[in-house]
Amino acid sequence: MNSGAPLRLLLGPQRPVVNLGIAMAECGIGDGPIAVISAAWQEAEGDIDDIRKLVSNELFDLPIYQRAYALFEADKPLHDAYRSRQDQLIDQQRLYRLRLRQLTIAARGILRADGNPDAIDEERRHAISQLRALDRHHLRQINKIYKRFEETFDRVRNSRLAEHIVEIEKQLERCETVLITGGNVVVLMNRLQLFGLSRVLSRKNIVGWSAGAMALCDRIVLFHDRMPQGRRDPEVMCNGLGLVPGTVLLPDARNRLRTSERVRSSLFSRRFAPASCLTLDNESLLLMQDGRVLNSELVRHIARDGKFARVKVT
Amino acid sequence: MTPTLKKLIQKNTLEASDIDAFVQDNEFPLVDGTDVTFVYRGAADSVNLRCWISGLDTAQPFQALPGTDLWATTIELPKGSRIEYKLEVTRQGKRKLILDPLNKVIAHDPFGANSVCQGFGYERPEWASHDPLSRLGALERKRIDSQAFGEPRDIQVYLPATFRKNRRYPLLIVHDGDDYLRYADLKIVLDNLTHRLEIPPMIVALTQSPDRLAEYAGNDKHAQFLAKDLLPLMSTEYPLIDSVDSRCVMGASFGGVATLHAAWRYPEHFGCLLLQSGSFAFSDLGRHKRGPVFDPVVRFMNEFREQPCRPADRVFMSCGVYESLIYENRSLVPHLQSKGVDLRFEEARDAHNWENWRDRLRIGLSWLMPGPAWLVYE
């Protein structure tokens, strides 16, 4: 199975049922060493003994969270610029959220409205296109912020950063497969981007669960309908690694989304189309290669009408 | 009167077996929308519903149903209400306060227990019950040699299930900590909310005063205890985030007063306050009528209201609309807001009791110290 393009094995949360070991054993990833990126666990990064019990391959830790920490300790200008970038990103997200809220309320209202079908259809398309335009605009603004940071701290010209990247890439030469754990997706993306790992990871088989799977998408979409303070509209946060193009992955959708609310789900699907919005619940599994679905268990996609349907092997 | 009870008494002949079946087949009190009918069965001279809540008479008389040993009374209870009550049964001239024998739902507090009426639309929050998936935090005991009180004080410390010495945690200080654990299921709530990422993993210092009415009533020694004894000890012995924003104090009733007072006496020490049904008694003119135990509270609150300060950046207040303190709590809101406090105030259809405070913990704690649920996909 593992010939040609690298594999992408995407899983849901590993609680309460763990399916990582079985999924990896069955997907044809091979028995070579595997690098584990657990930066999403932050200070608990590297605590991978539980994973060792599940996987027979040799596992080695790739501590990019701690590397970033060490780098910031050693390079104050870089750290200051990074902090400043993070502040700008937070502010940009705040401004985006202000506009997003109004557009989402309007779009949901239009999706619920009755009346002349032709007129309503036109308004629906327009309302959704406004949302999509805002998402695109937001991503452009986010990318500008990243670009300004990278122009200041070029990965090649900054010797400390370049040294870390060389060391990481050297470690990655040992393996054909990288495992990326779930956890804090923002922290994970920040570290992956800081060390510019997109290119080197694109050539590896990747096993990712939850946040680790989300990181592979074109865009990182944050979502949670059951926050104690009330629902929050899905937000585009930044570009992902783009290694599973055309998908928006939704870990633990059963618990995080109000899946029975058809209008909400329909808007989710139509807003992010043509990408497929795919749920990754506990025990689910999605194996992809070169854009094709090789195996799918308990994965559902949100259809345009807001219904959830099983994803089939293509 | 509810249709269920009407149907029973409309029968031509009412046998004891009919009443047995009625009692067997129904849950009490009978809730029919906003009408709630309390029922008592037994020989008595009189029966009263006793619930110490603002807005209802403290004693609501039951009517005997002719030809039966059934007694009943109906009250109107707005949607989402929850009240605690006892029955006052007088027999042969002897008065007794008892739990409702027909109602299994009971709430405990430091004074004993009450029966609970869960009105139409009220549901016990599922996050306040044990969740087998939640990882359990641990409690440990600590002794503090208190300079403020000149004697040692024992506290309990809650550590989250994922506690690691090399991580840093926010601190929550809880007044009446043992009572919060016992009567408001605080440990279960902390375990569940942490597991659901609705609050960050946090270290919780649970204090319990041997004389709360004196020490919590705007007492400088108590404020000193929190700021100068407890806080340094916690910072030394536990890995805390060294930031005012990450320090929260909470308390209910007199514990709410102690919380506000400590933050007022020691500004810049605590970033967030959770004040539940605070006993914020004050007097605009003349003497207050709440009894001598409130004298120091009123002195403090009058001073605070005269010159309000910004005791913390964020304050979450809650109060039951069936408690007399709702007036004082509502009155405090504009004073805090005028000083730029980021404040949220929630009212509940409940009274001055531990389960009211339990039911508000999720929104209060997660608003003051939001967890990483939005960003974490485990």
* Alpha-carbon distance B198 to nearest alpha carbon in chain A (angstroms): 7
- A173 and B CB contact within 8 Å: no
Q: Does B376 map to a domain?
A: no
pLDDT at A1 over 50: no
Report whether A90 contacts A141 (CB < 8 A). Answer: no
Residue among B133, B164, B377 minimizing CB distance to A16: B133
A7-65+174-310 topology per CATH: Rossmann fold (3.40.50)
From chain A, the residues in CB contact with B361 under 8 A are none
* Whether residue B239 is found in the same domain as residue B193: yes
Interacting residues of B115 by C-beta distance below 8 A, sequence separation 6+: B84, B85, B86, B87, B99, B100, B103, B105, B106
* Alpha-carbon distance A221 to nearest alpha carbon in chain B (angstroms): 10
From chain A, the residues in CB contact with B166 under 8 A are 43
Domain that holds residue B351: 126-368
Residue among A14, A16, A184 minimizing CB distance to B376: A184
* Whether residue B130 is found in the same domain as residue B114: no
Q: Does B233 map to a domain?
A: yes
Read off the pLDDT of residues A184-218 as tens digits, 9 standing for 90 and up: 999 999 999 999 999 999 999 999 999 999 999 99
CATH of the domain at B108: 2.60.40.10
Contact B377 A214 (CB under 8 A): yes
* Alpha-carbon distance A174 to nearest alpha carbon in chain B (angstroms): 27
Q: Does B360 map to a domain?
A: yes
Q: Is the peptide bond before B29 cis (omega within 30 degrees of 0)?
A: yes
Read off the pLDDT of residues A140-175 as tens digits, 9 standing for 90 and up: 999 999 999 998 887 777 889 999 999 999 999 999
Residue among B164, B366, B378 minimizing CB distance to A13: B378
Q: What are the distances in angstroms from CA A201 to CA A9, A24, A172, A180, A221? A: 14, 18, 9, 11, 20
End of a domain among B58, B83, B118?
B118
Contact B375 A229 (CB under 8 A): no
* Whether residue B167 is found in the same domain as residue B311: yes
Q: If chain B, 378 residues long, is cut into consecutive pieces of 10 residues, what is the mean pLDDT of each piece?
A: 82 84 94 96 96 82 91 95 96 96 96 97 97 96 97 98 86 98 98 95 97 97 98 97 95 98 96 98 89 96 93 97 96 96 97 98 97 95
* Whether residue B97 is found in the same domain as residue B144: no
Portion of chain A with pLDDT greater than 70, in percent: 99
* Whether residue B163 is found in the same domain as residue B297: yes
Contact B363 A15 (CB under 8 A): no
Read off the pLDDT of residues A109-149 as tens digits, 9 standing for 90 and up: 999 999 899 999 999 999 999 999 999 999 999 999 999 99
Q: Does B301 map to a domain?
A: yes
- A44 and B CB contact within 8 Å: yes
End of a domain among B56, B84, B118?
B118
Q: Does B224 map to a domain?
A: yes
pLDDT at A277 over 80: yes
Residue A3 confidence (pLDDT): 58
Contact B366 A228 (CB under 8 A): yes
Rounded Cα distance between B242 and A6, Å, is: 45
* Whether residue B177 is found in the same domain as residue B149: yes
Q: Is the peptide bond before B200 cis (omega within 30 degrees of 0)?
A: no
* Whether residue B166 is found in the same domain as residue B47: no
End of a domain among B118, B141, B172?
B118
Residue B168 confidence (pLDDT): 87
* Whether residue B99 is found in the same domain as residue B165: no
Q: Does B378 map to a domain?
A: no
Q: Residue B312: is it exposed, middle or buried by C-beta count within 10 angstroms (0-12/13-18/19+)?
A: buried
* Whether residue B329 is found in the same domain as residue B294: yes
Question: Domain limits of chain A?
Answer: 7-65+174-310, 72-152
Count of domains in chain B? 2
Residue B308 confidence (pLDDT): 87
**Which residues are bridge partners to A276 per DSSP?**
A247
- A132 and B CB contact within 8 Å: no
On average, the pLDDT of chain A sits at 94
- Band (pLDDT 50/70/90 cuts) for residue A245 is very high
A36-61 exposure pattern, b = at least 16 Cβ within 10 A, e = fewer: bbbbbbbebbeebeebeebbebebeb
CATH of the domain at B187: 3.40.50.1820
* Whether residue B165 is found in the same domain as residue B108: no
* Whether residue B152 is found in the same domain as residue B71: no
Contact B377 A44 (CB under 8 A): no
* Whether residue B214 is found in the same domain as residue B356: yes
Q: Does B138 map to a domain?
A: yes
- A148 and B CB contact within 8 Å: no
Number of Cβ pairs < 8 A linking chain A and chain B: 55
Q: Does B375 map to a domain?
A: no
